[in-house]
Structure 1
Amino acid sequence: MRIFKVVFVLLCALFSSCNQLKFKVEGRASSSLEREIEAKLKLLNKPAVKTIKSEDGDIIDCINIYKQHAFNHPALKYHTIQKVPDFLLDSHNSSTFQVFQTWQKSGSCPEGTVPIRRIRKEDLLRATSLELFGRKPPIHFINSTNTTNSNSHEFNGSNTYIPENRSQTYLFTVGYNYIGAEADINVWNPSVDLPNDYTTAQIWLLANNGPQFLQSVEAGWVVNPKLYGDKAARLFAYWTTDSYKSTGCFDVTCPGFVQTGQVSLGAALAHISSKRGQQYEINIGMFWDDSGNWWLRVGHNTPVGYWPAKLFGAAGLSHSAIAVEWGGQVYSPMVKKRPHTRTAMGSGESAENRWGSACFMRNLRIKDYSQQLKYPSHVNINAPEPYCYNILNEAKYGQEPILYFGGPGQAPPYCP
């Protein structure tokens, strides 16, 4: 009996020590994570001159334009904020577009500051990791001779990029020396199915700096609950210089994009289209200047800011784009698989349902060294999952084409 008691006491002591050690280890891990989160939040959220609380729950901080997160990028240490090019205020279309975000109902930022959506602790906790916060997953390449899809986009005539876990449905033009593109994009609020899914309607300007280093600047609207914490349609911008491997991010969640205007990237859009009802659009344009910067404009006279030339190195987008794409993208681990994700693209309706039901883009334009905005001479369409998400570029007699795209995702039996 005495031996049993001794063993029992020793085991209790051992387990007690183990539990204490476990709690100490977990405590240290938890404390370390907390410190990392606090450091990340401090890096992302600069001291505000003024704070605006939006009715949708967002907090918009008015940040001194010279103290924004962009300047934490090593290449921008001595960067001088660029003057808005005069041409950025010109447009082929004389109609007035009002860019209106929900937060703007609650106030405005003073001169010399820019409105930045505040990142919160819960935003970081939803991310796969602090390092990957705000980033798309990478894509991979295959040899173009191994694909039978003649509409796949090619770079350098030898490599085709294949979006990993993405389904993209788009109209594209390929050439040389595109220095701008724009479109009026119909705004919807499509459903998002799985926790990691997102859906966009956007424009891409693409180049490459080497065989497998895709460069891209992108903008449009997105529904991305993992990043933003809700299912609102939000204005977004994105960039990458290495096929989404380690550079670039959504909005200003990493250093790089220099904000100069009074539009807040990542903030919700106030006006959403309804089926067979009012249709809302935003004009999105991205344009290169003579210094190699890529400017983002929303509406026909509202510059948002720019991606500095130093982000792109000596090649690729520092000179021009070689392709432009207009359309939608759904990211999900369950695209091109069964069961397919139910995350919708566009309005969630198929392209053939057209105006008032399907998502559309119109007044598509490219700009080249002629300095003229014009509809591209040669276009093609790509819909790798046509039974899930499809596309229609419809041109009625005597009228310019209107691009329709989207779909519901999983819709048995065609998209099981």
Structure 2
Amino acid sequence: MFSLALGLFVFCVSAAEHHHVKAKTKRISLEVHKKLKLLNKRGVKTIKSEDGDIIDCVDIYKQPAFDHPALRNHKIQMRPSNHVQNDHNSSQLVSQIWQRSGSCPDGTIPIRRIRKQDLLRATSLENFGKKMPVHSSYSPTDDKGTVYINSTRVELGPQVNRSAAILLTTGYNYIGAQGDINIWTPRVESPDEFTTAQIWLKNGPGEAFESVESGWVVNPKVYGNGATRLFVYWTKDSYKSSGCFDLTCPGFVQTNKDIALGMVLGPVSSKMGPQYQTTFSITKEPSTGNWWVRIGQNVPVGYFPGELFYYLTRGAATLVEWGGEVFSSKVKQNHPHTATGMGSGDFASGKLGNACYVKQVRIIDYSKQLKYPEWVGTYSDEEYCYSALNYALSLAQEPVFYFGGPGRNPPYCP
């Protein structure tokens, strides 16, 4: 009799658990469906790329940016009014695999379709497409990212869940920056990690800074594989709650119908083989407060609207950075350290043909002239894991900034 009662009890518990799991699965499925409907705007044309990604050609006036409350009455600026005159011709043609399969019609923009499996890889639907936050609370022993530029102390803020190797300059009136960034495909060890090579323009307090960014990224969690992709990113609160990659949240306004954010970028460089690079540029228009992103031979992609920011809109950038970052919970004295590579996966000392580089480093101030920064400094969180080197063969030559590394390499970076 006891065994029968026990059996009935176990059956009832199992049935209850099954019902609970089924209800939870249904709820998650509904939430994912709702999120997909919000993210994926109806396109007038669909293009299936050879690499498996799908492009939707969406009416430029119906893109995700205009779901942002601050942009409900925003008027699209179709093209930048100011022209940035490159002082060199070293930028190479950027290509994307999807372009071989078709093109979007006038009046539309290409948007990489987000699929169910993309959302299910995220830690939560709210965090999809976002960087790990830079926490506002930290102990006195935490790395505050301190660097000296021409005897001026600069604190980058707490460097949490990230390791960087960067060239930087600080001032009060940077309305633009650019650089020719070498393109590679470094290894990413875990699906919840990613690595970038990029430009940042920042303003605001170290623990709540605003930033506009562009470059290339390898991010399996967001994009589904280890390919190198074009990206933009923004935040107004040091990644805590605002901003995202590309168009995965409202914000960035795209205007180019031929370049798709988040799509595979190429060709990529190889060790001691052909080297490929392209120019990444971010510039502000004082009349609108919009921060325009250009790539290649001065080709506008779109802009970060001034309505998104406070410091970057009312003023200019006070800090510009060029280089790479690895985002992982397995950095900063955590053993084993991540084996996710930065740049080419080689240290900066490898220089041309081995290490990733940024050439033709430039800033723009209110003189509206491209120029090499008056003062620069280099910074590396973990020099035995990822290094930074601003190198020139002679005083007569302009330096080339090299950066990167393999991450874990015992005994130096165990």
Shared fold per TM-score greater than 0.5: yes
1:65 corresponds in structure 2 to: 60
SS at match of 2:33: helix
1:233 CA drift (Å): 0.6
1:340 corresponds in structure 2 to: 337
2:186 corresponds in structure 1 to: 190
1:86 CA drift (Å): 3.4
SS at match of 1:326: strand
1:326 corresponds in structure 2 to: 322
SS at match of 1:164: coil
Is 1:413 equivalent to 2:411 in the alignment? yes
CA distance in 2, matches of 1:147, 1:16: 54
Cα distance change on mapping 1:399 and 1:256 into 2, 3 Å: same
The 8 Å contact of residues 181 and 367 in structure 1, kept in 2 or not, is answered as yes
CA deviations over 1:279-336 (Å, ceiling 9, x no partner) = 00011000101211111111123111111111003x3444210000001001111111
CA distance in 2, matches of 1:143, 1:287: 36
TM-score by length of 2: 0.93
After superposition, where does 1:10-409 map in structure 2 within 5 Å? Answer: 10-88=5-83, 90-95=85-90, 97-140=92-135, 150-151=146-147, 160-208=156-204, 212-261=207-256, 262-290=258-286, 291-313=288-310, 315-336=311-332, 337-397=334-394, 398-409=396-407
Cα distance change on mapping 1:236 and 1:245 into 2, 3 Å: same
CA distance in 2, matches of 1:17, 1:149: 56
The 8 Å contact of residues 189 and 272 in structure 1, kept in 2 or not, is answered as yes
CA distance in 1, matches of 2:145, 2:102: 50
The 8 Å contact of residues 159 and 212 in structure 1, kept in 2 or not, is answered as no
CA distance in 2, matches of 1:65, 1:371: 30
Gaps of 5+ in 1: none
Which moves more between the two structures, 301-310 or 122-131?
301-310
CA distance in 2, matches of 1:411, 1:146: 23
The 8 Å contact of residues 146 and 154 in structure 2, kept in 1 or not, is answered as no
Letter in 2 for 1:368: D
1:340 CA drift (Å): 1.0
SS at match of 1:295: strand
1:9 CA drift (Å): 4.1
TM-score by length of 1: 0.93
SS at match of 1:365: strand
Cα distance change on mapping 1:146 and 1:409 into 2, 3 Å: closer
Cα distance change on mapping 1:37 and 1:213 into 2, 3 Å: same
Letter in 2 for 1:130: L
Which moves more between the two structures, 11-20 or 250-259?
11-20
1:152 CA drift (Å): 6.7
CA deviations over 1:339-372 (Å, ceiling 9, x no partner) = 1111111101111111011101101100010110
How many residue pairs are counted as aligned between the two chains?
Answer: 407
The 8 Å contact of residues 115 and 264 in structure 1, kept in 2 or not, is answered as yes
Cα distance change on mapping 1:226 and 1:149 into 2, 3 Å: closer
The 8 Å contact of residues 89 and 300 in structure 1, kept in 2 or not, is answered as no
Percent of matched pairs sharing the same residue: 52
1:158 CA drift (Å): 8.9
